[in-house]
Amino acid sequence: MADDNVKPRITLVVSDVDGTLLDPEKNLTPGAPAAVRRLKAAGIRFTLVSARPPRLTRQLLRELHVTEPSACFNGALLIEPNGHVLHQLPMRTADAQIVADHICKSKLDLWIYTPSDWYVSNPIGPHVQHQEGLMQGKATPLPSYDMSQYHVLKLVGISDDYNAVKRAETELGKVPGLAISATRSSDYYLDVTHADANKGEVVLTLSKMLGVPTDHIVTIGDMQTDALMFHKSGVSIAMGNASDDVKAQARYVTKSNTEDGFAYAMEQFILGATEKQPVAD
């Protein structure tokens, strides 16, 4: 690892959305737009990678004037700023069926995301109403548990029993032969995608697509899904609201998303003076 007191050469910042650019109320943190403008003025490109579907990143792309490709569903879908699909990686039908069955067996609600639709097993379940507000539309009740009927980009297990969600994540990781990536994007969301649809692979894909060496890329996030991209980039930054495990996998730790941690990180570790501290005050 490079000396922390030497300012790295950075040409691309890849940021998580929820818990990083957004505060707990899902609003863009106050300093984020100006921080992104400063990055661009310094010749540093910027983009998003999120577990969200495209319709929930569209407004952010506009507000932050993103001109680079961005990733949705943790990388199962790569899109241009105008929404044009560059790449998609659906789950194998057999894998999707095993995962869906396991989610239901674990007593978690099941959500299915396809390129155009969102299905839920329990329309009055936890977090559905909130997600409907974000999506500006009602969820579609799940018509069938036969995964061969869907073009599955992401499956989600939902529960406010955080331990149950964590157990389901651990158990899915032990099922042999599955080509999946199963990680929690929050305490109550277990995101499952194709094995190559994860944020680490997104960094490698963007590196090739944009001609940017991985050691010139900064990644920033707050969840275990983001730690996957920390290991593929030259500089990694964990949010102050991240767990200790996630923080331990990052090069730097910034302030929380209630303290404008994204903007602080860009100024302190990327745009600011070369004298850096590994952990924010």
Domains of the chain from N-terminus onward: 12-88+198-271 (3.40.50.1000), 93-194 (3.30.1240.10)
3-state secondary structure of 202: helix
Q: 164 near 188, Cβ under 8 Å?
A: no
**β-pair partners for 79:** 70, 85
So what's the pLDDT on residue 236? Answer: 98
Cα–Cα–Cα angle for 72, 74, 75, nearest 5°? 70
* pLDDT grade for 280, boundaries at 50, 70 and 90: low
**How far is CA 185 from its chain centroid?**
7
Structure tokens at 233: 């980039």
What is the CB neighbour count within 10 angstroms for residue 60? 19
**Continuous segment of H or E residues that includes residue 245:** helix 244-248
Residue 239 C-alpha from the chain's centroid: 13
The tens digit of pLDDT for each residue in 181-217 reads 998 888 999 999 999 999 999 999 999 999 999 999 9
Count CB-CB contacts under 10 A for residue 4: 16
pLDDT value at position 111?
98
Q: Where is average pLDDT lowest: 157-161, 222-226, 262-266? A: 222-226
**Could you give the 3-state DSSP secondary structure of residue 172?**
helix
Sign of the dihedral through C-alpha 182, 185, 188, 193: negative
**Confidence grade of residue 9 (pLDDT, cut at 50, 70, 90):** confident
Q: What are phi and psi of 31, to 5 degrees?
A: -85, -5
Q: Cα(114)–Cα(73) distance, rounded to whole angstroms? A: 10
Q: Tell me, what's the pLDDT at 274?
A: 35
pLDDT in tens, 255-265: 999 999 999 99
Judge whether residue 80 has pLDDT over 90.
yes
Average confidence (pLDDT) over 161-177: 96
Predicted local confidence at residue 186, as pLDDT? 86
The HSE-up count of residue 190 (CA atoms within 13 Å, CB side) is: 30
What is the model's pTM? 0.87
Q: What is the mean pLDDT of residues 158-174?
A: 96
What is the percent of the chain where pLDDT is above 90? 89
Digit-coded pLDDT (tens) for 30-43: 999 999 999 999 99
Bigger pLDDT: 8 or 68? 68
Report whether pLDDT(275) > 50.
no
